[in-house]
Amino acid sequence: MSAAAGDQLTIYERSQAGRRAFVAPALDVPERELDELLAPELRRATPPRLPEVSEPEIVRHYNRLSKRNFDLDTGFYPLGSCTMKHNPKLHERVAALPGHAKLHPLQEPRQAQGALELMWRLQRALAEIAGLPHVSLQPSAGSHGELAGVLLSRAYHEDRGQRRTKVLTPDTAHGTNPATVTMAGLQVVKVGTDAHGNVDLEDLRAKASEDVACLMLTNPSTLGLFEPGIEEIERIVHGAGATLYYDGANLNAIMGICRPGDMGFDIVHFNLHKSFTQPHGGGGPGAGPIAVAERIEPFLPRPQVVMREPAGNGSQPHYDLDFDRPKSIGRLRGFQGNYGVFVRSYAYIRSLGAAGLREVSEIAVLNANYLLARLRLEGVLEYLPAAYDRICMHEFVLSGAPMKRELKIKTLDLAKRLLDHGVHPPTVYFPLIVEEALLIEPTETETKETLDQFAQTVAEILREAREDPEIARNAPYTTPVRRLDEAGAARRRVLRQAI
């Protein structure tokens, strides 16, 4: 499909033969025959057809593209389960320091002591927040951390001579949980949710057999609700000899308030791009470090960042990469992990300190409950009732089922109409067990005025729908493009520019 008039051109469509932005440094060594260095049969006949554009064109092109994005620095972004909190601007400055940014991953440890010490200190901090003693920073994202967790559970059981084949996940689980289980060679068994939005303890008891390796849980759950029965869950799961895995996606609700380790979890993963402010970048990078209990420690990925005690004579401790881990599950990726992300998260933890982190969770929970109450005051909950009528934590789920029945607009339409109001919609159609779900997480960095404004905006859209549902059904109107033919995209499958 080529560009029609008014379409935003791609960089390839702007390309003109002969233009360039890069000029190679002059050849300063004796020039040898190309054929001699690289036989013709090893070489490609034609170079890759990259664009030919000058620097001003590149800058203008991507700047224009950027203005077709809504972003967190610009507006409210209450995406449930994503923790879209402010990205402190200091972090880019410290991450860019050449001592961090230009450090080669295979630099000798004694010449990378700043980096290794930073990682070690970050590990200590995360251990303290989780309430579990040992941390690996290696996983690159939450789902990578989940994979580590399931592989660790497997290794732990196999080390004790047990081959367990199942992993339990609640039916409210994020899709990465079951996908991870399959990648780790185990089988998913779903555990139901009761009428109060909690894990169904009866169902859990029935399914917690000796064949279960692990229960993967988020607490608070993806419904934004804390499991009051967490202690009983721990008893059931550990009673069956299985491990308890904590999906840290919702950690923003409990930092400094309670700790997954104290709840009995054996393995915890963190999403540094959620609670620890690594910018989302439009879909990464992130990091998914894990904290584990003592009994899981031997199986942690290799290498581990360790502190080696001083030899004596007043010398300092030094930091090192420890490869001597015979029971380790091995590597999950190259080098040590997403160090640039660690720099930013470490700066955040140092900025906030313990009191600051607790305040984060207190305000995150306060803001969510306030927004829920405000929506109630605006009459929104008549059409979008809370899926569970109880105090929420840092996020809450509404169901658009009554709105669909009575106002004839779906959660999707509400989301699209919100775009016209300069707000990013909440998460839609997740979790799966709530019909026409709308998952809302304001985070602690939003002002009360923003929350008030959002509640009023939703109320206004509902009022408008009562008058004329067609408006929301055909929204958005003011965005760079309007509703897109997703079915057409999946059928036509144009996944690259034709050149």
Partner 1 sequence: MTRYTSATDADRQAMLETIGVGSIEELFADIPARLRLDRLPELGGGLSEQEVYEELRSLAARNVSTQDELSFLGAGMYDHYVPALIDSIILRSEFLTPYTPYQPEISQGGLQAMFEYQTAISELTGLPISNASVYEGPSAVGAAGYVAKHVNLRRRFVVSRGVHPHSRETLQTLARGYGMEVEQAPLCDGLTELPHLDGDVSAIVVQQPNFLGAVEDLPRLARAAREAGALTICACDPLPLALLKAPGECGVDIAVGEGQTLGNRLDFGGPSFGFFATTEALMRRIPGRIAGETRDVDGKRGFVLTLQTREQHIRREKATSNICTAQALNALAGVIYLSWLGRRGIVELAELMLQRTAYARERLQALEGVEALHHRAVVREFALALEVPVERVRARCLEQGVNPGYPLGRDYPEHQDGLLVAITEQRTRAEIDRLAEVLGAAVAAERCAAKEVGA
Partner 2 sequence: MADASYPDDLHYHPEHDWARVEGRQATFGITWYAQDALGEVVFFDPPEIGTQVAKDAPYTEVESVKAVSDVFAPLSGEVVAVNEALADKPETINEDPYGEGWLVKVNLSEPSEIGSLLDAGAYETMLE
Give the H/E segment covering residue 176. helix 176-183
Binds partner 2 by CB under 8 A, chosen from 5, 17, 37, 490: 490
* CB 412 to partner 2: min, Å: 10
Q: Which is nearer to partner 1, 209 or 478 (CB)?
A: 478
Q: Which does 113 bind (CB under 5 to 8 A by kind): partner 1, partner 2, none?
A: partner 1
Under the binding rule (CB under 8 A), the answer on residue 1 touching partner 2 is no
Contact criterion met (CB below 8 Å) for 308 and 321 = no
For residue 119 the two structure tokens come to 């990682």
Separation between Cα atoms, residue 278 and residue 378, nearest integer Å: 34
Q: Which is nearer to partner 2, 467 or 485 (CB)?
A: 485
Under the binding rule (CB under 8 A), the answer on residue 27 touching partner 2 is no
Under the binding rule (CB under 8 A), the answer on residue 491 touching partner 2 is yes
* CB 57 to partner 2: min, Å: 35
Closest CA to 105 of 321, 406, 388, 301: 321
Under the binding rule (CB under 8 A), the answer on residue 26 touching partner 2 is no
Q: Which does 456 bind (CB under 5 to 8 A by kind): partner 1, partner 2, none?
A: none
Under the binding rule (CB under 8 A), the answer on residue 494 touching partner 2 is no
Separation between Cα atoms, residue 473 and residue 490, nearest integer Å: 22
Under the binding rule (CB under 8 A), the answer on residue 163 touching partner 2 is no
Q: Residues 467-486: x/- map of binding to partner 2 (CB under 8 A)?
A: -------------------x
Longest dimension (CA), the chain: 82
Q: Which does 62 bind (CB under 5 to 8 A by kind): partner 1, partner 2, none?
A: partner 1
Under the binding rule (CB under 8 A), the answer on residue 41 touching partner 2 is no
Q: Which is nearer to partner 1, 280 or 405 (CB)?
A: 280
Can you tell me which residue has the tokens 């001699």?
36
Give me the sheet containing 187-191, strands edge to edge. 134-136, 290-292, 267-269, 243-247, 212-217, 166-170, 187-191
Residues 414-433 that bind partner 2 (CB under 8 A): 429
Residues sharing a CB contact under 8 Å with residue 393, sequence separation 6 or more, in sequence order:
220, 224, 225, 226, 250, 253, 254, 364, 365, 368
Separation between Cα atoms, residue 130 and residue 148, nearest integer Å: 17
Burial code of 239-266, b = ≥16 C-beta within 10 A, e = fewer?
ebbbbbbbbbbbbbbbbbeebbbebbbb
Binds partner 2 by CB under 8 A, chosen from 487, 494, 495, 498: 487
Contact criterion met (CB below 8 Å) for 464 and 413 = no
Q: Which is nearer to partner 1, 30 or 326 (CB)?
A: 30
**310 cis-preceded (ω within 30 degrees of 0):** no
* CB 126 to partner 1: min, Å: 10
* CB 175 to partner 2: min, Å: 12
Burial code of 189-213, b = ≥16 C-beta within 10 A, e = fewer?
bebbbeeebbbbbebbeebbeebbb
* CB 411 to partner 2: min, Å: 13
Q: Which is nearer to partner 1, 68 or 466 (CB)?
A: 68
Q: Which is nearer to partner 1, 113 or 456 (CB)?
A: 113
* CB 102 to partner 2: min, Å: 44
Q: Which is nearer to partner 1, 37 or 195 (CB)?
A: 37
Q: Which is nearer to partner 2, 197 or 431 (CB)?
A: 431
* CB 490 to partner 2: min, Å: 4
Under the binding rule (CB under 8 A), the answer on residue 104 touching partner 2 is no
* CB 436 to partner 1: min, Å: 16
* CB 223 to partner 1: min, Å: 12
| Half-sphere exposure (Cβ direction) of 281: Cα atoms closer than 13 Å | 12
Residues sharing a CB contact under 8 Å with residue 438, sequence separation 6 or more, in sequence order:
80, 384, 397, 398, 399, 400, 411, 414, 415, 426, 427, 428
Q: Which does 466 bind (CB under 5 to 8 A by kind): partner 1, partner 2, none?
A: none
Q: Which is nearer to partner 1, 265 or 383 (CB)?
A: 265
Binding-site ranges for partner 2 (CB under 8 A): 429, 486-487, 490-491
